[in-house]
Chain A
Amino acid sequence: MAALGFRLMAMLLALLGAGLAVAAPPHIAATLEAESRAPKAGSRIDLAIAFRPAPTWHGYWKNPGDAGTETLVEWTLPAGVKAGELRYPVPGTLLVGGIMNHVYEAPYALLVPLDVPAGLAPGTQLPIRAKVDWLACTREICVPERATLSLDLTVGDGAVEPAARTRFDGWRAALPRPLGAQARFERAGETLRLAVPLPASAAVKEPWFFPLGDDVTEQSAPQRASRAGDALVIEAKVGRGSPERIEGVVRIGPDRGLAIVAVPGKVPAGGAAAGAVESEGEGGGGLLLALGGALLGGLLLNVMPCVFPILSLKALSLARGGGSAAAARREALAYTGGAVIACVALGAALLGVRAGGAAAGWAFQLTDPRMIAALLLLSLAIALNLAGLFELPSLSGGLHAQGAFATGALAAFVATPCTGPFMAAALGAALVLPWVQALAVFAGLGLGLALPFLLIGFVPALRRALPKPGPWMATMRHILSVPMFVTALALAWLLGRQAGADGMAMGLAAALALALGLWWVGQRGLGVRAWLPLAPALAVSAALILTVPRAGPAEAAVASAGSEPFSEAKLAALTGAGTPVFVYFTADWCLTCKVNEKAAIERSIVRDAFAAKGIKVLVGDWTQGDAAIGRFLESQGRSGVPLYLFYAPGRAPQVLPQLLTPGLLTGLAV
């Protein structure tokens, strides 16, 4: 009772003392800073309202989410001085008790452009005052905080101290970057579907759409992100409003995002899942979904042309064994073990490659012609085996747990060429999970693959229902080799698409070498020694595979060989020496940039024309938000990429259109 009374007292005191709370040290400290304390008259500088939340406290984005408030600033400025709109960094999501908050939990800054009027004499004092209202919250409580911040500037030469430069560069890097291209959205029932133009090669992690306006989406509902070609598709639950134009920020990595504007339009169907969204609650659901998907996917793999023949033969051999139920169960378990372990091993290898720094996912690897060639050889080998050219001990052996294990592993291994785009989504999702969970998903895939065989092993009725073995099995096996040959054919076609006629010819030559080797093995009968002659055949195949040309990257390498990374110093040196310079700014997430590069800049006629005229090419890559490039873009009056500039000796720099043509570039007059 005493405790209750105390709590009541404390609460009433809190009620009465609301006005006093302001005097206490703030939970988020705020300061006002200028990049240059001596701005030039007639210039624009950046101001920052820098916030430092105490541990466990957070501040809010412009659209604070389901609760919270945006930061409000009332400026008191000298005559003629103008402050622009607040620019917020990319926020994070914080879901508390089902209520979505768009927050900053680490130090952050709101940037404000400040225009200093022309005609002010150096030495003129510019007192800047800002009454700032912001909300500081923990997961439990909220405190509205207020401060009147002041900063005294003096009109001067615009000098920027290195320390201030570094701080402001850091803050600018945290701002969302404006996406030049327009996004599209459509409403499908309760789902708001958003397509953000983003090159397929641009990496995306933890994507999330933060709308400006609280009625655009149901903010606390989970979002689903996927890639569909050159678009990032985000699906969210529709909100109460139905605006005809949607603005917001799409997060594409930790503290990285793009500012977008979307208009109604067609949104492509989602493809592979894009870098998982890490948020409370959703991880568990994502894992269960991925596990279920993997199990189902594994089950479906059984009817794929590459697996079905193996499975059906194995099932029949089990039926042939007849009698012992215990032996059948043992064999089924061994097969399952083989399939699961092979899947986990393949998954682990993939995770290892990723951990090694390659950002590539499963689907991406399949775009490598060398991978396609390797799969072509594998499926051809299986087809030849089914056709009876040679025997594998594991397939022809009787009821041996060891043989069953090997068959399971083989089934999982040969399933790879069939997974292709079909399984890419599920495996892609697995790759972004923590590694233990990712391996669990791969194990699920193996389990699904082994499930029919497991059933046959454990349910005698199923075994009895299988047709009696007989000479027809050999014929059946030969017939089953046809889908395998078709698989090989499809892979050969794919190889031709990706690596051209030369690449396909090399792949087929490797296939011939392998076939000859296998034929020889078949002549020599079973046994380990019989396989030795295969070694030179494999070596020849491997050598051929490695030399398969990779069309795309090779051209890109040539293109970038003629250009150098951008820096202002290099640009100044080149223009100072009277060299004509073509400068372009690009980013991996900028689709317009990539289109221009493929369609114009990297074309050989353009390269040749540039070489003939002695035009040097400088490339500024803004993918990571490089601060120096950001400043240069701003100095050109741009907030983002693409930007194309041409510096001809003795003339003012020429800003080229955002859509380039080879003709425009080859026609540049030196």
Chain B
Amino acid sequence: MLYRTIALLTALAPAIAAAAAQVGAPAPAFTVADSKGKPVRLADYKGKLVVLEWNNPGCPYVQKHYNSGNMQRTQAAARAAGAVWLTVNSGAPGKQGHMSGPQADAFVASAKARPAAYLLDASGAVGRAYAAKTTPHMFVINPAGRLVYDGAIDDKPTADPADIKTAKNLVMAAVNETRAGKPVSVATSRPYGCSVKYAG
């Protein structure tokens, strides 16, 4: 009975959150500790483009984009366009991909990634607020704090790195269009990958 109650609560949570995160609406605010233990607030980046990336190093789809260098290249391009890149890990303790601060730093270093911060969201609060479903799952927030993109990193939903060459990078498209003051032409897509390993 207890298990069922918990399952019910966890089943309801993303439903509430899904109503919160919607393209065109203000992006849900959050405060969460990064890998160094420093609290990071979304509000700190008001006036800047923000990219959120959901991460789980154990997931083959994440590996597709990191081992090929595609995620790092996207990060660099976004940074060059003035965007702040936040990598978020919502893996619950004991689940695949859950990491401590030092582990996260080691992963970032070994992958030669350069996010502005690696956020540890073990409770899943941020993930559920955004209804992050997969790793990777990407979000772009415009300088006014509104969500302008919610979906996959690109339009080739496979685990095969060979597909990256021919895929359209939807995150960079959203970043560049927003920067040019244009509406995002593909504002949502189906995120693909492993499910986010939330608690419960």
Contacts and interface: CB of A to CB of B under 8 A. Distances in A.
Interface of A: 4, 7-8, 11-12, 14-15, 18, 21, 66-69, 72, 95-99, 101, 133, 135, 137, 140-144, 146, 214-215, 218, 220-222, 237, 240, 280-285
Contact of A18 (B63, B102, B199): B63
B89 to A, nearest CB: 12
A414 B58 CA distance: 63
B188 A7 contact: no
B59 A69 contact: no
Contact of B11 (A21, A68, A240, A282): A282
**Interface hub of B159, B196, B199 (most chain A Cβ within 10 A):** B159
21 contacts: A4-B103, A11-B103, A12-B110, A14-B58, A66-B195, A68-B195, A69-B158, A95-B11, A96-B198, A97-B195, A98-B10, A99-B14, A99-B133, A133-B158, A133-B160, A140-B96, A141-B58, A142-B61, A143-B60, A144-B158, A280-B4
Contacts of B134: 66-67
Contact of A98 (B1, B191, B200): B200
Interface string B1-24: 100110111111111001000100
Contacts of B5: 284
A69 B192 contact: yes
Contacts of B61: 142, 144
B35 to A, nearest CB: 13
Contacts of A137: 194-195
B170 to A, nearest CB: 15
Nearest to A241: B188
Interface in B49-75: 57-61, 63-64, 66-67
Nearest to B95: A140
B109 to A, nearest CB: 10
B176 interface: no
B190 interface: yes
Contacts of B198: 96-99
Contacts of A8: 103, 106
Interface string B82-107: 00000000001001100010110011
A285 B6 CA distance: 11
A142 B92 CA distance: 16
A215 to B, nearest CB: 7
Contact of A141 (B12, B103, B188, B194): B194
A144 B62 CA distance: 12
Contact of A97 (B92, B188, B193): B92
Contacts of B111: 15
A15 B8 contact: no
B11 A280 contact: yes
B67 A15 contact: yes
B157 interface: yes
B88 to A, nearest CB: 15
Given A66-B134, A97-B10, 9 more contacts: A15-B63, A18-B64, A18-B67, A68-B195, A101-B195, A133-B158, A133-B159, A137-B194, A220-B14
Contacts of B124: 97
Contact of B128 (A4, A72, A98, A221): A98
Interface string B132-147: 0110000000000000
Given A97-B196, A144-B61, A222 B95 contact: no
B67 A281 contact: no
Q: Which 4 A-B pairs have the closest CB atoms?
A: A144-B159, A97-B198, A67-B195, A284-B4
Contacts of B190: 214-215
Given A97-B200, A98-B13, A282 B8 contact: yes
B60 A221 contact: no
A666 to B, nearest CB: 54
B194 A284 contact: no
Nearest to B135: A67
Given A67-B134, A280-B4, A11 B11 contact: no
A18 B102 CA distance: 23
B159 A135 contact: yes
A67 B58 CA distance: 15
A281 B4 contact: yes
A281 B160 contact: no
A97 B199 contact: yes
A572 B4 CA distance: 56
A218 B18 contact: yes
Given A14-B58, A144-B60, A281-B4, A72 B197 contact: no
Contact of A220 (B4, B11, B160, B188): B11
Contacts of B158: 69, 72, 133, 144
A206 to B, nearest CB: 16
A268 B95 CA distance: 44
A215 B188 contact: yes
A555 B147 CA distance: 63
A283 B3 CA distance: 11
Interface string B159-173: 110000000000000
A110 to B, nearest CB: 17
A9 to B, nearest CB: 10
A240 B21 CA distance: 11
Given A15-B110, A66-B195, A67-B195, A280 B58 contact: no
A91 B12 CA distance: 23
Contact of B14 (A98, A143, A240, A283): A98
Contacts of A284: 1, 4-5, 7-8
B8 A285 contact: yes
Contacts of A220: 11, 14-15
A135 B64 CA distance: 14
A203 B188 CA distance: 39
A471 to B, nearest CB: 54
Contact of B57 (A15, A98, A237): A15
Contact of A99 (B110, B160, B195): B195
A143 B12 CA distance: 28
Contacts of A221: 15
